[in-house]
Amino acid sequence: MHRSSFWRILAAIFLLGFIPQVGFAQSPTPPVSAPPVRNAQAVELLQQCSQAMGTPNPNSGILVSGQITSTQRPGDPGKLTIELQGYTEMRREVAYSSVNDIAIVNNGQVQMTRNSAIFNLAPWQETYFRPDDVPALACSLDLARPQMNVSYVGLETVSGTQVHHIQFFASSQQLPDGSNTPDPIISQFDVYLDTQLLTVVKTKRFLFSPNAIENHSDWETYYFNYQSVGGVLMPFHIQHFLAGQQAEDIVISSFQLNASFPSQDFVIAAVTN
C-alpha cells in the first residue's frame, strides 16, 4: 500500500479526532485573532446536553472494550480496547486476526503503530483531540476552549430524528507577515443534539490528508444505544462514515469509569519517520 493511502486509512480508523495545527509557537510575535463569538442559544443547549448526558471526571480514566468491524477488513472483526486518561491521553488498540493497530495520544503528540511499524503524525495534526467514543464530552470539551466560536446552525433531521445543529470553529489568526492561519477549517466540529432528549445523535469533523490541509473529507460519527454508566450516558453502538461511506461499525461491550492505567501505555517512542 502506498504510504499516503496507509496513513489515510489509519487516520480514519484510529485517530478519529485529531485536527491539524499550524505551528504558531515558532513566531516570536504572538498571532492576533478576533475574540470568539458564541451564540447564546447554542451555549444554553450545550449546557443542557451536559446535564442530560453527564460529564466524566477529567482526572479519571475510562476503559472501553468492544468489537469493531471495518470496511477495510471485511469478515475480520477486531477486538477494540481504548484507554482514555483525562482529556489529553489515549491509547486505542485494535487486534485483528493478523494485524495489530495502535494509536497513542499524549498531550498533543500522536503516534501510530501497525504490527512493528511505528509512525509519528505531522505536527499540524495534533491539536484538537476529541475522544469520539465518549460523546458526552462533545457538549463540554470545545465549550471550555476559550478560542472557539459557537454557532447555532438550525433545526435538521438526522436518521429520522429532529436535531439542533451546533458548530464550533476557531477564528483565523493573523501572523506577523500578514497571512492568516487556516484555523476555521482545521478546527471545525459539528454537534447534532436530539431536540427532545438533548443527547448527541451525531458529530462531524473533517479528516485531513497527512500532506495537505486542502485535501479533506467529512468524518461523521453516529451514536446509538445509550446506557448510563456511573451517571454518564455512554453509547454501546457507534458507526463511522468517511465521505458518506460507512467505514466502521463498533459494538461496545463495556465502559469502565475510574480505571487506572500504567503510564507506559501512553509513552511516545522516539522514532524518525
* Distance between CA atoms of residues 88 and 80, nearest Å: 20
Interacting residues of 186 by C-beta distance below 8 A, sequence separation 6+: 19, 20, 21, 22, 124, 127, 128, 206, 208, 213
* C-beta of residue 218 within 8 angstroms of C-beta of residue 204: yes
List the Cα angle 9/125/255 in 5-degree steps.
70
CB count within 10 Å of CB 142 equals 22
Instruction: Give the three cell numbers for residue 138.
Output: 462533545
DSSP state of 73: S
| pTM, to two decimals | 0.85
Compute the chain's Rg from CA coordinates.
Answer: 18
User: Please, what are the averages of pLDDT over each run of 10 residues along the chain (273 residues)?
Assistant: 42 43 42 82 98 90 97 94 93 95 87 88 69 93 92 97 96 79 82 98 85 79 97 97 95 96 92 60
* C-beta of residue 105 within 8 angstroms of C-beta of residue 90: yes
What are the extents of the domains in the chain? 3-21+36-266
* Distance between CA atoms of residues 68 and 248, nearest Å: 7
Superfamily of domain 3-21+36-266, CATH level 4? Lipoprotein localisation LolA/LolB/LppX (2.50.20.10)
DSSP state of 178: S
* Distance between CA atoms of residues 168 and 111, nearest Å: 26
Question: In the beta sheet, which residues pair with residue 150?
Answer: 38, 168
* Distance between CA atoms of residues 171 and 187, nearest Å: 9
Instruction: Give the three cell numbers for residue 72.
Output: 477495510
The per-residue pLDDT for 21 is: 36
List the Cα angle 130/126/44 in 5-degree steps.
35
CA atoms within 13 A on the CB side of 89: 19
Phi, psi of 140 (to 5 degrees): -125, -30
Put residue 262 in one of left, alpha, beta given phi > 0 → left and psi -120 to 50 → alpha: beta
Instruction: Give the three cell numbers for residue 94.
Output: 485494535
* C-beta of residue 118 within 8 angstroms of C-beta of residue 111: yes
* Distance between CA atoms of residues 24 and 10, nearest Å: 27
* Distance between CA atoms of residues 235 and 254, nearest Å: 10
DSSP state of 15: I
Instruction: Give the three cell numbers for residue 2.
Output: 502506498
* Distance between CA atoms of residues 90 and 6, nearest Å: 21
The per-residue pLDDT for 124 is: 59
Instruction: Give the three cell numbers for residue 59.
Output: 482526572
